[in-house]
Amino acid sequence: MKVLDGLKYSREHEWIRVEGNKAYVGITDYAQHSLGEIVFVELPEMDACLEAGDVLGVVESVKAASDVYAPVAGRVVEVNESLVDDPAGLNRDPYENWIAVLEITDDTSLDELMDASEYEAYCAGEE
């Protein structure tokens, strides 16, 4: 399982990379591995305002469908349209293929997220 330093992780297996007031959000390697071959990604609506914990999108695999949650409150300012035509990009490199970019409106939930070592320990406890 690949976990990158410099990102924050949620218990729902999303990662977030904060750059200024923007947050790139995707699913973790653990999530894509658990889901199996990803065949469809439902992206959020542009300009949608989300609270931390709101459904950001949906990832469907040959095994199951899984909601993707916003790890921080924000407004959707960009979506990764390439995932519509190539959802398996999340399997090949889940950290390069983010799902959406949020303009952060409330960063208090960032404190509840895990760093790389905490997330690795969390995943080890789930297996």
Q: Per residue in 20-65, pLDDT tens?
A: 999 999 999 999 999 999 999 999 999 999 999 999 999 999 989 9
- The answer to whether residue 54 is domain-embedded is yes
- The answer to whether residue 127 is domain-embedded is no
- The answer to whether residue 45 is domain-embedded is yes
Residue 42 tokens read as: 């439902």
Dihedral sign, Cα of residue 69, residue 77, residue 32, residue 95: negative
Residue 70 is part of which domain span? 8-108
- The answer to whether residue 36 is domain-embedded is yes
Q: CA-based Rg of the chain, rounded to a whole angstrom?
A: 13
Q: What is the pLDDT of residues 55-108, one digit of tens each?
A: 999 999 998 999 999 999 999 999 999 999 999 999 999 999 999 999 999 999
- The answer to whether residue 114 is domain-embedded is no
How many structural domains does the chain have?
A: 1
What is each CA distance from 127 to 38, 72, 116, in whole angstroms? Answer: 21, 26, 17
- Tokens 């939930």, located at residue: 109
CATH, residue 79: 2.40.50.100
- The answer to whether residue 117 is domain-embedded is no
The C-alpha atoms of residue 37 and residue 91 are separated, in whole angstroms, by: 7
- The answer to whether residue 80 is domain-embedded is yes
- The answer to whether residue 44 is domain-embedded is yes
The answer to whether 71 and 26 are in contact (CB under 8 A) is: no
